[in-house]
Chains A and B, each alone.
Chain A
Amino acid sequence: MNRYDFVYLFDAKDANPNGDPDAGNLPRVDPETNHGLVTDVCLKRKIRNYVGLKGGYEPPLDIYFTDGAVLNNKHKKAWESIGEEPSNNLPKDVAKARALQQFMCRNYYDIRTFGAVMGTEVNCGQVRGPVQISFARSVEPVVAVEHAITRSSVTNERDLEKERTMGRKFTVPYGLYRAHGFVNPFLAKQTGFGEDDLALLWEALENAFQFDQSAARPAGSMAARKLLVFEHDSELGNAPSHRLFEAVRVKRRSGVDVTREFGDFEVEVDRAVIPGGVNLHERL
């Protein structure tokens, strides 16, 4: 596998893409510029959920950090595929720790992809995954709109005579977000992250919001818009990431006063500045 850098664009319309627990679940913003933010861990959660759904939470596409109840994971398949007892005959603790890490990498997509901290009793150190994702930041400043909502039923009987409960929710009328990511071939080798896993990563990013609907993010309110994958033709890579990212310019279309949909933006890729040895795949 070679090195990859990617630019991921997604948008939110009348949705709260990522609430800030520090600000009463308001959409996250950079307080100095009012650009909207979506954390790396929020995006990784979507990828985990997609892969988990698709793989049925079974090895080798099981998900370690699950949403909801702990699944009773069956490892019989994985165990049979090993065919031998990997750790029992190895004398040193270190080797045993390695075997444990390998076992986890083999069975869990998210450990193979993003890594994990392992080790409470025997210290196995940590598994570093090949995929690194930065914060997503909106192309333009966003505004958070507060909506007061009412509930027509009450929780307790004694409240029956009171006025109806009022709640509030927040949305971003529109925000186009841009995130950057990297796939590291050296760490991929260490965790066994293969070509199939990579294909699944792109698929998960393309479909990240398809199975993530909720009251805060209704169906269709969030969508992956562009996934531009720069494939280097060597392991070490053929260009600095920032130069590739700078080749992708996203700006408001001229004549548009207020942006409310993806069509209000223009995505330009300056192919002239992409050096030889780097192939751009426009997946979305």
Chain B
Amino acid sequence: MDNAVKLEVWGDYASFNRPEMKVERVSYEVMTPSAARGILEAIYWKPQMRWIVDAIHVLRPIRFTSLRRNEITAKISTQLVERAMKGGAGDLGIDVGNPRIRAQRAAIILRDVRYGIEAHVEVLEPERTAENENGNSLAKHLEMFRRRASRGQCFHHPYLGTREFPAEWALVESFGACPEELRGERDLGLMLHDVLFEPDPKGKVVESHRGTRCSATPRFFLARMRDGVISLPPLAGSPGGTS
């Protein structure tokens, strides 16, 4: 595909949390397409385009480690904030020492990871105006992404699943070989493909760009890794994918 990009990403740790094990987090064995899209979007994204991840290459052996941390279980209450805003005073803050809202949670995370992300851009709603004759062209988006990625620029620093595990990246022509132990075929089971956000006035998610409400539907796929490469089907239910 001539609109394809290849990005190599790596880091000391990664955690692509399985949604079915959320309290004590357990990572998937490999990066999810959703996390890969997040990394691409951290470098470059515009509302007039979207990233489609085509394949994920696993370039290091899969190694886990565990980590236990003190965490809190409470969230900021919007009702209390409202009261404080209206009344001018209020009881805000979360007492992190309170054992009721403090939990020690273990996480099973990946260590020493390196992935190759193969993706392409799809252009939405092409807009051409007199001032901007190139409009919303595919070439523009790709060029801007490539320029940023090769200069080490990003909108926000990409991360490997969660923000404490920052990702380093490099734009490459081709990926290195997969490690010997990943040769052959391996079934990784049902994995999260991506979360589909659809406009819905009653939805629970507020989309940050337009500020409209969306409903979020997770989509899964059967992940098979062949010689370290996971090829991805189109996202089920998305406008460009199959349902």
Contacts and interface: CB of A to CB of B under 8 A. Distances in A.
B154 A117 contact: no
Interface string B187-207: 000000000000000001110
A66 B152 contact: no
A125 B152 contact: no
B13 A186 contact: no
Given A135-B12, A137-B12, A86 B85 contact: yes
A50 B159 CA distance: 27
Given A31-B65, A72-B91, A123-B205, A21 B155 contact: no
Contacts of B157: 132, 182, 184, 241
Interface string B76-114: 111101101110111111111100000010100001000
Interface in A108-165: 116-125, 128, 132-135, 137
A168 interface: no
Nearest to B83: A75
A203 interface: no
Interface stretch (A8-16, A95-103, A217-225, A265-273): A95-103
Contacts of B206: 94, 97, 123-125
B78 A100 contact: yes
Q: For B163, B170, B205, which residue has the most chain A Cβ atoms within 10 angstroms?
A: B163
A125 B13 CA distance: 26
Interface string A37-78: 001110000000000000000000011111111111111100
Contacts of A103: 81, 84-85
Contacts of A31: 65
Contacts of B104: 21
B164 to A, nearest CB: 4
Contact of A40 (B78, B152, B164): B164
A176 B159 CA distance: 25
A130 to B, nearest CB: 8
A173 interface: no
Interface stretch (A193-201, A204-212, A231-239, A249-257): A231-239
Interface in B91-148: 91-97, 104, 106, 111, 148
A118 B76 contact: yes
B208 interface: yes
B153 A236 contact: yes
A75 B68 contact: no
Nearest to A99: B85
Given A79-B85, A132-B159, A184-B156, A121 B77 contact: yes
Interface residues of A, number: 69
A282 interface: no
A64 B93 contact: yes
A238 B152 CA distance: 7
A72 B66 CA distance: 37
A65 B71 CA distance: 11
Given A94-B213, A117-B75, A135-B13, A30 B65 contact: yes
Contacts of A70: 91, 93-95
B166 A182 contact: yes
Contact of A66 (B67, B95, B163, B208): B95
B95 A68 contact: yes
B16 interface: no
Contacts of A21: 68-70, 104
Contact of B156 (A88, A124, A128, A134): A128
B208 A125 contact: yes
Contacts of B148: 236
Contacts of A67: 96-97
B211 to A, nearest CB: 5
Given A118-B81, A123-B204, A237-B153, 17 more contacts: A41-B71, A41-B164, A65-B93, A66-B93, A67-B97, A68-B97, A75-B90, A76-B89, A99-B85, A100-B81, A103-B81, A118-B78, A121-B77, A125-B206, A135-B164, A187-B156, A237-B154
11 contacts: A22-B106, A39-B67, A39-B69, A66-B93, A76-B88, A94-B213, A120-B76, A120-B79, A135-B164, A237-B154, A241-B152
Interface of B: 12-13, 65-72, 75-79, 81-82, 84-86, 88-97, 104, 106, 111, 148, 151-157, 159, 163-166, 168-170, 204-206, 208, 211-213
